[in-house]
Amino acid sequence: MNFRVRPVRRLAGECEVPGDKSISHRAALLGAIADGPTEVQGYLEGEDCLRTLTAIQMMGVEVGKKGPGHYRIGGVGRDGLSEPGDVVDCGNSGTTARLLIGFVAGQPFWTLMTGDESLRRRPMKRVAEPLTRMGATIVGREDGGRLPLAIRGAPRPRAISYTTPMASAQVKSAILLAGLRADGPVTVREPAPSRDHSEVMLRAFGARVERTDPLTVTLHPGPLRGTAVQVPGDISSAAFLLVAGLLVPDARVIVRRVGVNPTRTGLLDVLAAMRAPLTMTPHGGATDGAAEPMAALGVSTAPLAATTVAGALIPRLIDEIPALAVLAATARGTTEIRDAAELRVKESDRIAMLARELAKMGVRIEERADGLAVPGGQRFHGARVASAGDHRMAMALAVAALVADGETVIEDTACVQTSFPTFVDTLNALAGGEAITVEP
């Protein structure tokens, strides 16, 4: 499937984005091992999160669909899962794979897991290493470092105190999930704060989670209580609409009900530093530390200034860097993105991909080992570009194409279904016409 994108002069209106991908995965997994049912509203019905629902069903959890994005998950309790009867296919989803490895690392059975070509290339040692210390057996390709993997859970995982080598919410969450059945408190320390959706949701399910400092979290093992989860819109999807709303010549865009957990709002800080006219109107939520805050985010066309994106900011906007690179190419001055080597092990090597595909659109980006230098003041030219099956690359290229000086064809765009199935319809509604057409 390809996108054919025509440049647009105008974007206007209010919209919503589908549910947050990170929060949806966690709602499914915690709901599965809670005592009693969990009702989830706003669940992201993209391929990644549907993989997680299928995985818990394969372990004997009942999942009932009650409406669009509305699911009832029949919690079986921490001791109630059963061994999956077949290989669990995580598709393109790194979060499904890494969280699930932690989820089954404390279960007394075997789980076999695989994924698509992209996921089978991505590193799994980062979760296998601490989980092995907790007593799980993880075997597979590259000495247990790549899918397909076989995991034999530890019936009673050992309590550990672990320092992660990288700021990764997936690694932290895998350890916490295994820790729910551990023989004592489990502590994870990170080099910089990563998204804390697991901690927020574990508390909502009744778990005792302590944050001794911004880098350290301790979980006390115990049962979970099924609850109601309202999933906010995904700021990582909203990012593409906000960037489009800043770039298109005559634009005013408002995205409602976006999750604005401070561990995810690095993009908003960067937009403010670039002097973007950004408005944020809170919707309420997060009253007791057990819910996720939401806001309506608004932008309009504006000339922007370059900035530097590095350090502790990186984990707070890691998935937004493809969109940000597109924006930076038009700003005044050179934007530096550093400390972001993690981009090389996402759904694609996003550093190499951004440099290569944007070059096809006539935009020069300097590739660095851990980031990018993006000279501003450039114009995008219509071209034929490729997503390499990476959803965020496909959408970033589509946004660049909206302001190019001719038509652009983006190849291999079915991947957009993994996180933002309504991307094309939402952008076309804002454009008031067929800016993007989907070709088989």
Beta bridge partners of 334: 375
Cβ–Cβ < 8 Å for 259, 234: yes
Residue 330 binds ligand S3P (CB under 6 A): no
Sequence-ordered list of residues with C-beta below 8 angstroms from that of 328, at least 6 positions apart, any chain: 306, 307, 335, 337, 374, 376
Which of 2, 52, 92, 95 contacts ligand S3P by CB under 6 A?
95
Distance CA 318, CA 194 (A): 10
Q: Scan residues 341-370 and list those touching ligand S3P (CB under 6 A).
A: 342
20 is catalytic: no
Minimum gap (Å) between residue 162 Cβ and ligand S3P: 14
Distance CA 54, CA 88 (A): 8
Q: Which token pair is 340?
A: 């972001």
Minimum gap (Å) between residue 93 Cβ and ligand S3P: 9
Distance CA 432, CA 250 (A): 13
CB closer to ligand S3P out of 173 and 348? 173
Give the binding range for ligand S3P (CB under 6 A) out of 108-116, 140-148, 162-170, 326-334.
162-170
Minimum gap (Å) between residue 205 Cβ and ligand S3P: 17
Minimum gap (Å) between residue 168 Cβ and ligand S3P: 3
Give the binding range for ligand S3P (CB under 6 A) out of 73-81, 109-117, 165-173, 333-341.
165-173
CB closer to ligand S3P out of 165 and 289? 165
Give the binding range for ligand S3P (CB under 6 A) out of 49-57, 77-85, 127-135, 166-174.
166-174
Cβ–Cβ < 8 Å for 263, 196: yes
Which of 28, 119, 169, 260 contacts ligand S3P by CB under 6 A?
169
CB closer to ligand S3P out of 27 and 431? 27
Residue 168 binds ligand S3P (CB under 6 A): yes
* Residue where the block lists tokens 């985010």: 297
Cβ–Cβ < 8 Å for 50, 28: no
Which of 15, 17, 19, 22 contacts ligand S3P by CB under 6 A?
22
Which of 247, 313, 318, 416 contacts ligand S3P by CB under 6 A?
318
Distance CA 167, CA 191 (A): 6
CB closer to ligand S3P out of 258 and 318? 318
**How far is residue 136 CA from its own chain's centroid?**
26
Q: Taking the CB of residue 14, how many other CB atoms lie within 10 A of it?
A: 13
φ and ψ at 184, to 5 degrees?
Answer: 180, 180
Q: Which token pair is 38?
A: 């969990």
CB closer to ligand S3P out of 22 and 348? 22
Q: What share of the chain is helix, strand, coil (3-state, %, to 5)?
A: 35, 30, 40
Residue 96 binds ligand S3P (CB under 6 A): no
Which of 89, 199, 292, 319 contacts ligand S3P by CB under 6 A?
319
Minimum gap (Å) between residue 379 Cβ and ligand S3P: 30
Sequence-ordered list of residues with C-beta below 8 angstroms from that of 213, at least 6 positions apart, any chain: none
235-247 and 321-328 are packed helices; what angle lies between their axes, rounded to 10 degrees? 10
Give the binding range for ligand S3P (CB under 6 A) out of 168-176, 241-249, 271-279, 295-303.
168-176
Q: Which one is catalytic: 319, 349, 370, 390?
A: 319
**How far is residue 310 CA from its own chain's centroid?**
19
Which of 38, 107, 170, 426 contacts ligand S3P by CB under 6 A?
170
Q: Scan residues 185-244 and list those touching ligand S3P (CB under 6 A).
A: 195
Binding positions for ligand S3P, rule: CB under 6 A: 22, 95, 168-170, 173, 195, 318-319, 342
Please give the positions annotated as active site. 319
